[in-house]
A = this chain, B = another copy of it.
């Protein structure tokens, strides 16, 4: 929505766009963890003075907010708006899609939990979920509560996963912690401990996804039998 333009115009060759800034922020978060998204770092990444960022965003919080919004905007609604599909499958698609999108950028999760998610895309997703549950035949009141439960589950699950993962580059000194965690949470204790960090990460990913689905099914059972 660019204003109709007044007298004078752009600036000097316009070195920046909002999306470049968000790209830089996301890259930094992905490779350096939650604390790596500094305004100065972002500016450096796009080759600009630190305060140039403030031409496009009022403050750092706005950058984060924009980033979260863009991420949420990427979720594929096509997966769960199809009214001909069984509703449980649609909920599952939504939950899995969200999880996939978010855990692809673990550094973002603490930031998005840190502040209110009231952007248009967040609200749109909320709305979709409510519609979906209404399609499932739930009374609006029950639909709202079920939506709450599902949202809590999705975000809680991701937050827990992220909190457990090593934030910065190198993996933790000992994979012992992963081992005990899996022992506590997984159905079958990993008989052979993962040798390499990559194997450990892969196993953890598999188990946590499987875990996630199991919990989701229990949730759905709870909702339907109420």
A residues with a Cβ closer than 8 A to B are 34, 110, 113-118, 123, 126-127, 130-131, 134, 139-149, 151-157, 159-160, 163-169, 171, 174, 177-179, 181-188, 211, 214-215, 217-223, 225-226
Contact = CB atoms under 8 A, between A and B. Distances in A.
B215 A149 contact: yes
A157 to B, nearest CB: 5
A146 to B, nearest CB: 8
Contacts of A113: 110, 113, 159, 163
B168 A144 contact: yes
B141 A152 contact: no
A84 B18 CA distance: 61
B171 A141 contact: yes
25 contacts: A110-B110, A110-B114, A113-B163, A115-B163, A115-B164, A116-B186, A126-B166, A130-B178, A130-B179, A139-B174, A140-B178, A140-B181, A141-B171, A144-B185, A145-B168, A145-B215, A147-B184, A148-B168, A151-B165, A153-B156, A154-B156, A155-B159, A155-B160, A156-B156, A221-B225
Contact of A179 (B115, B126, B156, B221): B126
A165 B116 contact: yes
Most interface-central of A146, A163, A226 (chain B CB within 10 A): A163
